[in-house]
Amino acid sequence: MAGAGSVSAVIVDWGGVLTQSFNEAIEVWAAAEDVAAAEFDAVLGRLLGPDAVPDGGPNPFHRVERGELSVADFESVLAALLRRTDGTPVPAGGLVQRMFAPFAMDPVMTGLLRRVRAAGVPVALLSNSWGHRYDREGWDGLFDAVVISCEVGMRKPEPEIFRHTARLLGRGPEECVFVDDLGRNVRAASALGMATVHHRTAAETTAALTSLLSALRDDPVPRSCLEFPRGVAASGTAASGVVVSREGSAIAPSSALDSTAPDAAPSPALELQTGPSGRARSPRR
């Protein structure tokens, strides 16, 4: 295993990492569509579990993410599973685009990626897609490579999509750090030898990438990369190196991020631990 000092490329997820959380954005859509959030959660739980296969057939979410199912057909399948609170059906046409309309890029995370690239570290986007149209304005300044699942016929957590993305950056998996908000994707990347960050907040991911990338440790942190997301109260100063949890309580300084946390009691802030070689890795959950 390569040490943290040899990590020289970043691969990052889109929804829930570079945007607000999936749940936050979907709640906005559900309210506008008059769909009970609990009902939508139940549909996702039934169809998006690690081994979920509805009615003994192929999973429509997995198929649309691989580009095997058209967006229109996927919308028909999903709409048939949903009802508005008054019992009327949800219109299928344009459903996916309506669902993803509330998603917006987090300026703190985009500022972090610009800082990473300015330090000479290549960055790739790796996103599973339900066929929605991404707002790609400004992407040329953020990414050296873009991998969308339905465009390459693979999806996370399949190993080959991680290898493919690393190759586009001219790196091996062991030279990359992967950032995602879903544990199953983080675990899959870790199994290939990638350093991983299980994203929860921009402040925590900034601290994690700084601990992993020597190019960032040697680079002064712009103030824009230290701004805390709205709703997170800072309880330490930038100069102190204090990382802030989602509740705003101070936890370990960034120098302590390599310590191993027990699986039964993961840190409420950053899921990062040290592997046998000393490289920071995400613990398995």
pLDDT of residue 258: 32
Same-domain pairing of 12 and 43: no
Token digits for 209?
């990438």
Same-domain pairing of 173 and 32: no
pLDDT in tens, 58-112: 889 999 999 999 999 999 999 999 999 999 999 999 999 999 999 999 999 999 9
Same-domain pairing of 79 and 155: no
Q: Is 256 helix (H, G, I), strand (E, B) or coil?
A: helix
pLDDT of residue 67: 96
pLDDT in tens, 111-133: 999 999 999 999 999 999 999 98
Residue 1 CA to residue 281 CA, distance in Å, equals: 11
Same-domain pairing of 125 and 188: yes
Amino acid letter at 200?
R
β strands within 13-161, DSSP E: 123-127, 145-148
Domain count along the chain: 2
Same-domain pairing of 13 and 50: no
Same-domain pairing of 173 and 219: yes
Same-domain pairing of 81 and 147: no
pLDDT in tens, 169-208: 999 999 999 999 999 999 999 999 999 999 999 999 999 9
Of 100, 115, 136, the residue at which a domain comes to its end is 100
Range of the domain at 276: 4-20+103-281
pLDDT in tens, 125-164: 999 999 998 988 889 999 999 999 999 999 999 999 999 9
What is the pTM for the complete model shown?
Answer: 0.74
Same-domain pairing of 248 and 207: yes
Same-domain pairing of 176 and 48: no
Q: Which long-range contacts (CB under 8 A, 24 or more apart) does 249-258 make?
A: 254/207, 254/210, 254/211, 255/211, 257/207, 257/208, 257/211, 258/4, 258/211
Q: Are 283 and 260 in contact (CB under 8 A)?
A: yes
